[in-house]
Amino acid sequence: MAQLSHFSSDDDATAVIAALERDGGAIVAGMLPADAVTAIVEELGPALAATASGSRDPDPKWQVFHGAATKRFTGLAVRSRAFVDHALLQPLLLATADALLLPHGSDYWLNTGQVMAIGPGEPAQVLHRDEGNWPEARRPGVELTISAMFALSDFTIENGATIVYPGSHLVDAAASRSDDGVDLDDPAYAVMPAGSGLIYTGKVLHGAGHNASAEWRYGLHVSFVVGWLRPEEASPLMVERALAMELPTRARELLGWSSYYSRGGGRTWLVDFEDAALLFE
């Protein structure tokens, strides 16, 4: 069984970034304090209870990908201030995003923040690379997205801990969906206690594991994407201006309430041809 490197949230970001560059993923203990986990779970509880398992998309591909026994929902910044303060603005996650995304764009924003609750009996998810959301943009050596899967409950092999193939981010999958060169018989499992996080790149092959237990596995996915790409989640359609005004400036920027300045190019995501951040002055 392959292994990922383990770190503490107090460790220097340089070591975590080196592990990401080498393996494509790393596990960090204590990314969310215990009281933050409790607050996030409590604040998101009503949305979890109201969310049905499976996908409402009629395309069988997405039904299989989402899983019939998995609950997913977004809009977490609307539903939980603890999510904003502790997950969206998690310092080590932002440091890794700075290191891996800023070489390829002047800024980045939230791709998606979503709960992924995997029910008993759910088969293993289809293996995938997150950068596959943008096939027109992915290139060898260019990171488009960086993610963290926060454990809101303990992750075990039995209940579907995320499966990662270390080194698969170095296999060029830009031209096709082929995974030639990846040893699919040697996965690593993100076994970790609640509050820990799996940080991984958009190029690494991964997927949720099979939940062979009788319990639910609760995960919180946060990912960022370079600012010149459209994200998976339409955050500004959910986070209204009045709520955004109450949030820290960096949170507003990550949620799409600011404009993007291309290096050597123009400005995009403007309001009356001015920076959207001026809405809050």
User: Which band of pLDDT confidence, cut at 50, 70 and 90, is reported for residue 194?
Assistant: very high
- Asked if pLDDT for residue 116 goes beyond 80, the answer is yes
The secondary structure of 173-232 as a DSSP string is -SSSS--TT--TTS-EE--B-TT-EEEEETTS-EEPPPB-SSS-EEEEEEEEEETTS--S
Angle, helix 91-101 to helix 13-23, in steps of 10 degrees? 50
pLDDT attached to residue 39? 98
Classify residue 276: in a domain, yes or no: no
pLDDT at 175: 45
Cα distance between residue 162 and residue 209, in whole Å: 5
pLDDT tens-place string over residues 211-247: 999 999 999 999 999 999 999 999 999 999 999 999 9
Cβ(252)–Cβ(244) under 8 Å? yes
The DSSP code sequence of 101-129 is HGGGSS-EEEEEEEEEEEPTTPPPPPPB-
- Answer for the pair 123, 208: CB distance below 8 angstroms, yes or no: no
Q: Determine the structural domain holding residue 11 and report its residue range.
A: 6-239
- C-alpha distances out from residue 224 to 89, 132, 209, Å: 11, 14, 23
| Residue 53 or residue 174, greater confidence | 53
> Does some domain include residue 250?
no
What is the total count of domains within the chain? 1
pTM of the model: 0.95
Largest Cα span, the chain: 55
Q: What is the pLDDT of residues 155-168, one digit of tens each?
A: 999 999 999 999 99
User: Does a structural domain hold residue 267?
Assistant: no
Mean pLDDT of 189-201: 98
Mean pLDDT of the region 99-103: 98
In a domain, 15, yes or no: yes
272 pLDDT higher than 90: yes
Any idea what the CATH number is for the domain that residue 214 is in? Answer: 2.60.120.620
Answer whether residue 196 is part of any domain: yes
Give the pLDDT of residue 172: 75
Indicate whether 208 belongs to any domain. Answer: yes
Read off the pLDDT band of 173 (50, 70, 90).
Answer: low
List alpha helices for 27-159, DSSP H: 34-50, 60-66, 76-79, 81-82, 91-101
Is residue 225 in a domain?
yes
Residue 71: inside a domain: yes
Query: Taking a C-beta distance cutoff of 8 angstroms, is the pair 87, 32 a contact?
Result: yes
Residue given tokens 């060169």 in the structure block: 181
Q: Which residue type occupies 113?
A: G
Angstrom distances, CA of residue 259 to CA of 9, 100, 147, 234, 272: 31, 21, 22, 15, 12
Confidence of residue 190 (pLDDT cuts 50, 70, 90): very high
Q: Give residue 28's pLDDT.
A: 98
pLDDT in tens, 253-266: 999 999 999 998 99
Residue 174 has pLDDT above 90, yes or no: no
**What is the tens place of the pLDDT at every residue in 38-82?**
999 999 999 999 999 999 999 999 999 999 999 999 999 999 999
Q: For residue 240, give the H/E element and its range.
A: none
